[in-house]
Amino acid sequence: MKKIKNEAELLNKFCDVFHVKPLLRTPFLNTEYNEVWSTDGRVFIGINPEILTKEYPKGEHPFPKLEFPCEKTITIEALNKAFNSCPMVDEEVVVEDAVECEECDGSGTVYWEYTDNHGNTHERLMDCPICNGEGEIEPCKTKKTGKKIIAEDTVVEVRNAHFFANQLRLLKTAMEYLNADTVKMTHNDPKGANEFIISKDIRIIIMPMLFDYSFSCSAKLELVD
Ligand SMILES: [Zn+2]
C-alpha cells in the first residue's frame, strides 16, 4: 500500500494544540474506527493507519452522526473559483504583545461597591475604570505581512450547508497535499457532519456553520454529479 509522505505535516494542519480536550491536541489512533484522527473538533481528517508510518497514541472519540447522504463530486477548480470570489484582507502578525491592565489583572472587570440611602452596600462585578473593560492598557502591535488572506467570517455555500471559507480551505489543502483533483461528498448535512472522501483510506469531515441572516454568503461552490 502506498504510504503518505510527510504525514506529520498533513496531520498537524487539523489538530489544535490548545484544545480543551487533551486527546484532540495531537493526532491519535481512534481504536473505535481503527483510523488515525486529527481534528480541532470542527474539521477532521481520518486516515487508515496502514498508509501511515508513525505510531500514534490510542484514544476513543465518538464519530459525529452522518446524515443527509448525497453523491456529488467537488473539483479543485471549483474550490479555487469559490475562494477567488471571497473577500480578502491583509494578513497581520503580532509583533509586540498587549500591555495588560494591572488594576484588573487583564480581566477587564473589577468589583464596584455602592452604598444606598439605607446604608446598605451592594457589590457588582463591572467594567474596570482604568482600562474601560478592555483588560489592556496598550493593544498588541501588529504588522502586515504583505500577504492577502480570506477574511475570517467569510461563508461559502456547499449545496445544503454553509461553511466558513477558512475551514473549507483545509479540504483543498489536503487535496493538494495528496495530489487529488476531486473528492466525493457523501453526506451534506446543513446542521451536522459533512463527509468528503479523498480516497478509500482518507476522509475529511467538516462541521457547517449555522447560517443565519447576520452572515452573508460570499460564494457558492459548484458541484458535479
Ligand atoms: Zn483594567
Residue 182 belongs to some domain of the structure: yes
Q: Which residues, including other chains, have CB under 8 Å from residue 119's CB and lie 6 or more apart?
A: none
pLDDT tens column, 12-48: 999 999 888 888 899 999 999 999 999 998 999 999 9
* Ligand 1 centroid distance, CA of 128 (Å): 5
For residue 104, what are the domain limits?
98-139
Percent of the chain with pLDDT strictly greater than 90 = 81
Note the helical H segments in the chain.
7-11, 76-84, 165-177
Least Cα distance to 188 among 222, 218, 158 occurs for 158
Strands 88-96 and 121-127: unpaired
Rounded-to-integer distance, Cα 156 and Cα 172, Å: 13
Kindly report the number of other CB atoms within 10 A of residue 56's CB atom: 18
Residue 222 belongs to some domain of the structure: yes
Residue 28 belongs to some domain of the structure: yes
Residue 93 belongs to some domain of the structure: no
Q: Are residues 168 and 203 in the same domain?
A: yes
Q: Is a pLDDT exceeding 80 seen at residue 101? A: yes
Surrounding ion ligand 1 within 5 Å at CB are 101, 103-104, 128, 130-131
Q: Are residues 161 and 224 in the same domain?
A: yes
Residues 196-208 have a mean pLDDT of 95
Q: Are residues 169 and 220 in the same domain?
A: yes
* Ligand 1 centroid distance, CA of 43 (Å): 36
Percent of the chain with pLDDT strictly greater than 70 = 100
* Ligand 1 centroid distance, CA of 138 (Å): 11
- pLDDT value of residue 1: 63
Q: Are residues 3 and 21 in the same domain?
A: yes
Torsion, Cα 77 9 40 24, to 10 degrees, reads 150
* Tally of domains in the chain: 3
Q: Which three cell numbers stand for residue 22?
A: 487533551
* Ligand 1 centroid distance, CA of 111 (Å): 11
User: Which of 19-23, 53-57, 134-138 bottoms out in mean pLDDT, i.e. has the lowest?
Assistant: 19-23
User: Which of 11-15, 20-24, 71-75, 101-105 bottoms out in mean pLDDT, i.e. has the lowest?
Assistant: 20-24
Q: Are residues 104 and 80 in the same domain?
A: no
Residues 114-126 have a mean pLDDT of 95
Strands 109-115 and 202-206: unpaired
Looking at the DSSP bridge assignments, the partners of residue 74 are 183
* Ligand 1 centroid distance, CA of 96 (Å): 19
What is the CATH number for 206?
Answer: 3.10.150
SS3 of residue 145 by DSSP: strand
Residue 57 belongs to some domain of the structure: no
Residue 59 belongs to some domain of the structure: no
Residue 4 belongs to some domain of the structure: yes
Question: pLDDT grade, residue 78 (50/70/90)?
Answer: very high
Q: Are residues 26 and 111 in the same domain?
A: no
Q: Are residues 13 and 124 in the same domain?
A: no
Strands 58-59 and 28-30: parallel
Q: Are residues 104 and 175 in the same domain?
A: no
